[in-house]
Structure 1
Amino acid sequence: HIESRLTSIEMELGKLKKAAELKPDKTQQTKRPQVSSRLNEELFDSVKAKTIRFTVLASSSGQPCLDELEVFDDGGNNVALASSGAVASASGTLPGYAIHQLKHINDGRTGNASSWISNSSGSGWVEISLLKEHSIQKIVWSRDRSGQFQDRIPTRYIIEARTQKDEWIRIADSNNRATFQNKPDPLAFLNVLNDSGRSKAESLLKQKENLRGELKRLSKRNMVWAGQFKQPGPTHRLYRGDPMEKREKTPPGALRVIKPLLMDEDEAEEQRRLKLAQWITSKDNPLTARVMVNRIWHYVMGQGLVRTPGDFGANGVAPTHPLLLDWLADEFMRNDWSIKHIQRLILNSRTFRQSSKPTPMGMDKDAGGAWLWRYTPRRLSAEPMRDSILFTSGALDLKMQGPGFYLLDVQVENVMHYFPKEHFGPNEFRRMVYQTRIRQEQDAIFGAFDCPDGNQVISNRSRSNTPIQALNLFNSNFILQQSEILASRLQRNFPDSLKQQIEQAFLALHGKRPDEHEMKISRALIQSDGHASFCRALYNSSRFIFIF
């Protein structure tokens, strides 16, 4: 019913549009032509000025662009050229493009390859200060005088001149230009209809809008990310692996050398998946459980019983404690594959709870700690490090679920451009698990801490120590900001006691109270450089960055 009514409305509107085509449009006749990408002239009564300002109020798309802004005096000379001593300034410039710089606005060259682009969508301003005061009567501007680009055209604008009395006066604007249209206005026919026809058309358009909204509401369903299940086609043995050289049919199955997985050729699709899952998790197949408990051990202890968690084959490393690995795998399966059960076992073990303090004999025999004679210290990885900084400063947003956040500024043109963020706000103060990762792009700060980019899958991260890590953790805007936030919180919670401020900071970041020496040097640092420097020093301390 709704769709048939929409069809009827479209037919009635079509008749009105056809009638409108027979009448001239008189609404635009008294106005100047709409703005053009190639060339636009502004003529006005001669005025004395030393500075000209072109303010963009709207653009056809994105950030507005100007390839040249020319100011002509009464003698027809362009007095805005940089070569004539004129100086340009602007509200801002789109970063990262040598061809779109402010210097191009009055360099005498035209075209997109020599232009200025604002850093604000749909707005921005440019000023040109002339070498001396001139009597001017014409301004010429363009987006791309070569005509190759039709986007980013300023469509609403104001041009002002600063007079000898240091007053800004408007000398031209877009108010008397025809309305800019990238494409024909679908409602332009209303301008040439009589009152009765216009009223009828507007009523039909309103009905059309309401019906489309209702149709959209009724069509809306909950969407899920789901697969399309269908019965697989027959599988053939391929001669020498060539898909064009099919041989006899072969039923679905698995490697017989491990354990046979026998199915019929016409086995239902869902049964194939179910039997494969049962085969992988069978208690007769200990590999799955061994890989899983080794991965849990790896995350808790810093390194697995098998040092190559992604390779248990001939190219991998043999387990240091094979009996322990097998016992954990058996315990895992006997307790319904409970990850929490294995974590509880490891975290309550004497192995996990032992000291990380080194001994001469231990370091001589096993400096890497493979034989578990001590808890091997390790640096926090990138994600826990950032989360810990936010948590201890009090800025961490623990909100769960929802859309992720970016640690990169995104600029959309023909392709996406990514730039490291320099300033961070509450939207970026969530756990790093909610960060939107970009392939082949890294966070400028914590990407240096061996965090793979979004294009890689790494089972065992390396742990490097580089100067850039120290610089990022000491000088980055993020660390400076979080140090300020923590310092403000300490001063707000304990306004009258420097001792309590220091103790609370040590408890939050080091998990202990400061000793006498630490208290003394902390007081001295705060008195000489302030609370923020003290907090920054704690964030850079080994006791905070490393797990001992």
Structure 2
Amino acid sequence: MPNLTVILLLGLINTTEVTADTHWSLQPMTRTAIPNNSHPIDFFIEQKLEEKNLKISPPANRSNLLRRVSLDLTGLPPSPTEVKAFIDDPRDTKVVYAETVDRLLASPRYGERWAQHWLDVIRWAETVGFETNAERALAWPYRDWVITALNSDVPYNRFILEQIIGDTVGADAALGFLVAGPANLAGQIGRDEEAMRSARQDELDEVIRTVSQSLLGLSIGCARCHDHKFDPILQRDYYGMQAVFAGLKYGERRHRGQQNNAWATQVEPAEKQLTKLHHQLEALRLKHGLRPALKTIHTEHFKPIQARSIRMTIKATGNGKPASLYEFEVWSTDQQNVALASTGAQASASSFALANQSRHFENLIDGLIDKRQSYPWVADKPGPAWIRVDLTQVATIERVVWHRGSTMLADYEIEILPADGRAQVDWQRLVHTEDRLPRIDDTRSADKVNLRNLTLEQTRTLLTLIDSVRQQADKLAHLSAGPQVYAASFEAQPTPTWLLRRGDPMQRLEKIAPTIPALLGSMNLKSGAAEPHRRIELVKHLTNREHPLTTRVLVNRVWQHHFGVGLVSTPSDFGRMGATPSHPELLDWLALEFISQGWSLKKLHRLIVNSRTYRQSSRPRAQALRVDANTRLLWRFPPRRLEAEAIRDSILFVSAKLNLKMGGPGFDFFNQRGGLSDYTALETFEEEGWRRMIYAHKVRMQAVDIFSAFDCPDSGQMRPHRTRSITPLQSLSLMNSPFVNRQARFLAQRVRSEAGDDSKTQIDHAFALVCSRPPKWAEKKALLKLVKQHGLEQACRVLFNTSEFVFIQ
């Protein structure tokens, strides 16, 4: 590790001295010839070992090998039945093992396991992070897309293509890759021009960091404000990459595909049903002499949320006249208008027209939505204006209704102050005109004032029908919009990209054309190049068979997850400050072989796990430890602790409670979603919460119960390499966790059911379930004593706390 003086001196070095001609990762890949009778991986590993007078260790025994490869490829241990069949098979171990590898790679559990590794790299989550930490309710289809792509062994070059230009090939969910990172979106930190420009720069910076670090292993984002301090990446290169994505927008987009086509067939029947309900409603209105709903009444629905204040900002009107409203209602989930002056709510506004100064703000919230019974609020001039309503108390609200009179609101947004006791909190946006779907107006507000002359039964009939109209209108709007997904969308003609002085969005220097960093070549595009041509050219560059980084970075990541450390120990930094490869010839050979095998990840896994290097024992040897204590030369299989997700999944698998439901919205680890309030972790889970942990709703900036002790990240930063600490807190967490203790009870129940009442048989079976082997005599003796004194459940707690259970070895 260089000291501070060295780091400072390195920072002063002219980066032009480090070029594509001098740095190892930018050199063309070369393929070393391999002897015909050698496994290529073993050939390179043994070469390095011989230099240190070391040898590969003997093969691991069958039970250890099966457990290792099962956890590696699927994140789950083998069942006792699988272990017995593997051990008892009389054929050569290589043959039996190769068949087992094929079975594991064909399992849907493989995609779930390896998708988590990819999501770590791009720090995918279902909230935006930062102070608001707002929901990305439809981000989960991207996670499902990754799992499906891996299970289907989509070629890696296609995997890249769909994540960058998925909109051109019908893979909309794949575009979640580009907007996976945290983002403080425009308008959340301020609405002045500088704040909006800064937020936009931050949005695009997240995209550049995701693409460059995950696919290229380069920190291009470090050149945002100045030339890169260590790598030959200029500030111009950074903005050239930004120009590639200049048309990108964060948010929800239509999710095309088979599901979308199924929805389309339901639109016409839904329209007919809505027309039928409208006719029934009109007949009732005529029968009872009710006035029709006002067409100037509008409704915005949203998911229920707690609020104490609500603000509507009107940015523009359809006719350019000053904004005006007759009434503003806020409806709670128990169908009460909580914005009534008569109950203590207070209204305020940015301005009032002089002619209307005699009109009190309370007219906005007097409950009289018919303009003939109320007076309007009118702004003093055209342009932006706002109204605000402070509720009497915190309420859970689900929609707002307003009567606009004759002035159409062309651009508006609705925000709330959440139910938070802090003095300073930001407004949280709920609704914007850009997000609004076509929707039939909610009619309940319009009819509320007309029901006083009806009987109770007539009122019930009418309100039931009105509710049916609203629900059917919602259904139709939902179907017409089609399935949605949180993913990148793109403007047809992106705005120009500027080189910024010191990264300051207010100091533009010159327009920049879309391109890649000069050290990697060029794309020969003009600054006005259209979408999606910019991204298409980038994909062509990234998937070029001769690209020096794309496949090197990928095979290194795969190697890392099989052996704990990559051939390059800095998996997302192949630049000058990253590590050099421990086995450079092997890295190049694997990268080129990966391409020749059709960019197939499963073939790469098969090649690695079938090597003697992977299949060797993990037992330490004193002489080898003295030479290579960190096992970088791979004289043995390097044991490592499982990640938090694999530990939780394995606990559920062993207790027979693992829910293997795949896909769809995730289960919750916390008692709420979204908002600024603190999240409280749930301690009890039922069947939905017993799914694999990759299907948990992923919240940034929140620790996940006991599994944070096992270094489970919060997705605020990229995690190309998980921390693998070993601390007493981990044992204490497993021993005292309500979740683990409950699963220990379930495991004890399973053991009794499957092994009977004999304590010795129970211990044998519990050990086989948890550790994939029979217990040694000393282990069995100790557990028999524990069972006799404290019961089988406590023995199961102890087994969950063994190193053997939480380690791959």
Bucket of the pairwise TM-score, normalised by the shorter protein: 0.5 to 0.7
Contact (CA 8 Å) 1:448, 1:469: kept in 2 or not?
yes
Q: Distance in 2 between matches of 1:477 and 1:423?
A: 7
Task: Map 1:200-349 to 2 at 5 A.
Answer: 211-219=469-477, 220-221=479-480, 222-225=482-485, 227-235=489-497, 237=499, 249-349=511-611
| 8 Å Cα contact 1:253/1:262 also seen in 2 | yes
Count of residue correspondences: 392
Aligned pair partner of 1:497 in 745, 758, 762: 758
Quote how far apart the aligned CAs of 1:303 are: 0.8
1:411-450 CA-partner distances (Å, limit 9, x unpaired):
99x8433212232322221111011122211122111111
Cα pair 2:661 2:691 within 8 Å, conserved: yes
**Partner residue in 1 for 2:453:** 192
Q: Does 1:434 align with 2:716?
A: no
Separation in 1 of the partners of 2:391 and 2:511? 58
Alignment check: 8 A CA contact 1:441 1:454 kept:
no
SS in 2 for 1:410: coil
- For residues 616 and 490 of structure 2, the distance between their equivalents in structure 1, rounded to whole angstroms, comes to 51
CA RMSD of aligned residues (A): 3.7
Per-residue CA deviations over 1:194-234 (Å, capped at 9, x if unaligned) read 89xx96x8777666555555544444232232523412244
- Relative to structure 1, the CA distance from residue 515 to residue 292 in structure 2 (aligned partners, 3 Å threshold; closer, same or farther) is same
After superposition, the Cα gap between the structure-2 partners of 1:488 and 1:318, relative to the gap in structure 1 and judged at 3 Å, is same
Distance 2:596 2:527 in 1: 34
Unpaired runs of at least 5, structure 1: 19-58, 63-146, 154-182
| Residue 229 to residue 426, structure 1, CA distance change in 2 (3 Å) | same
Aligned to 1:392: 654
Match of residue 530 from structure 1: 791
Partner SS for 1:409: coil
Cα gap change, 1:13 to 1:246, in 2 (>3 Å)? farther
Query: Does the 8 Å contact 2:618/2:636 carry over to 1?
Result: yes
Deviations 1:324-363 (A, max 9, x none): 1111111111122111111111111111111111111111
Q: Deviations over 1:374-419 (max 9, x none)?
A: 111111111101111110111111111122112222399x843321
| TM-score for both structures, normalised by structure 2 | 0.44
Aligned mates of 2:520, 2:673 — CA distance in 1: 52
Match of 1:378 in 2: 640
Query: CA contact under 8 A between 1:408 and 1:418: conserved in structure 2?
Result: yes
Structure 2 residue aligned with 1:35? none
C-alpha deviation, 1:524, in angstroms: 1.7
Call closer, same or farther: CA 1:287–1:209 in 2, change over 3 Å. Answer: same
Identity %: 38
> What residue identity is the alignment partner of 1:450?
D
For 1:345, the aligned partner's letter is L
TM-score when normalising by structure 1:
0.64
Alpha-carbon contact 2:667-2:689 (below 8 Å) kept:
yes
Q: In 2, distance between residues paired with 1:425 and 1:202? A: 38
Gaps of 5+ in 2: 1-270, 292-332, 337-389, 397-443
The aligned counterpart of 2:620 is 358
Instruction: Tell me the amino acid that sits aligned with residue 393 of structure 1.
Output: S
Would you say the 8 A contact 1:450–1:461 is kept in 2? yes
Tell me which residue corresponds to 1:41. Answer: none
When structure 1 is superposed on structure 2, of 1-10 and 381-390 the one drifting more is 1-10
Moved more, 447-456 or 362-371: 447-456
Partner of 2:402: none
More deviation, 250-259/423-432: 250-259
Are 2:808 and 1:544 aligned?
Answer: no
Cα distance, 1:184–1:234 mapped onto 2, change above 3 Å:
closer
Aligned to 2:536, the other structure's residue is in SS state: helix
Measured after TM superposition, the shift of residue 454 of structure 1 is: 3.4
Q: Following TM superposition, by how much is the alpha carbon of 1:15 offset from its aligned partner in structure 2, in angstroms? A: 9.8
Measured at CA, do residues 410 and 368 of structure 1 come closer, stay the same or move farther in structure 2, by a change above 3 Å? Answer: same
Say which structure is richer in strand: 1
Q: Aligned equivalents of 1:250 and 1:508: distance in 2?
A: 60
Change (3 A) 1:528 1:208: closer
Change (3 A) 1:217 1:259: same
Q: State whether residues 235 and 251 of structure 1, in contact with CA within 8 Å, keep that contact through their aligned partners in structure 2.
A: yes
Task: Determine which structure has more spread, i.e. the larger CA radius of gyration.
Answer: 1
Residue by residue over 1:459-511, the C-alpha shift from the partner in whole angstroms, topping out at 9 and shown as x without a partner, is 11222222221110111111111111000111111224333222211111111
Distance 1:509 1:537 in 2: 10
Aligned AA (1:480): N
Write the distance in 1 (CA, Å) between the matches of 2:465 and 2:617: 76
Q: Which residue of structure 1 aligns with residue 707 of structure 2?
A: 446
Q: Is the 1:255–1:261 Cα contact (8 Å) retained in structure 2?
A: no
